[in-house]
Amino acid sequence: MSFLIADAYAAAPAAADPSAFANIAMLVVFMLVFYFLLWRPQAKRQKEHKGLMDNLQKGDEVVFAGGLLGRIKNVDDDYALVELADNLTVKVQKAAVLATLPTGTLKGIGVSTATNLTKD
């Protein structure tokens, strides 16, 4: 049966094993790469978003995670009352706010008008 299956022989021992120092150095390099490419930028984004949520105030024009635009009417600890259009206000979590817009942005794009809510 040896003509169908090749004989297997044990491999010769490796000439030199990498030192423990090289293994530890490689681990440290990987940790530094993960820190600078993943952990540090994410922590920076979280800090900026927390600052944004803490600085929300009445009258700010904001954009939400779902793409809605509105003007803040009232701010509580965790929630904000937001006017999306004339006579249309919703209560949303402050964490859903992605960014604040420059004052006058909503007026410039025509968001806060009653004609946007009429049915055909």
Here the tokens at position 5 are 């299956």
Q: Is the pTM of this model over 0.75?
A: no
72-95 average pLDDT score? 91
Mean pLDDT of the chain: 84
pLDDT-derived band at 113, boundaries 50, 70, 90: very low
Residues 61, 84: Cα–Cα separation, whole Å: 10
Q: Domain-by-domain residue ranges, the chain?
A: 19-55, 57-117
pLDDT in tens, 28-48: 999 999 999 999 999 999 999
Task: Please report the pLDDT score of residue 16 as a whole number.
Answer: 59
- Residue 82: exposed, middle, or buried by beta-carbon count in 10 A (0-12, 13-18, 19+)? buried
3-state secondary structure the chain: CCCCCCCCCCCCCCCCCCCHHHHHHHHHHHHHHHHHHHHHHHHHHHHHHHHHHHCCCCCCEEEECCCCEEEEEEECCCEEEEEEECCEEEEEEHHHEEEEECCCHHHHHCCCCHHHHCCC
Architecture of domain 57-117: Roll (2.30)
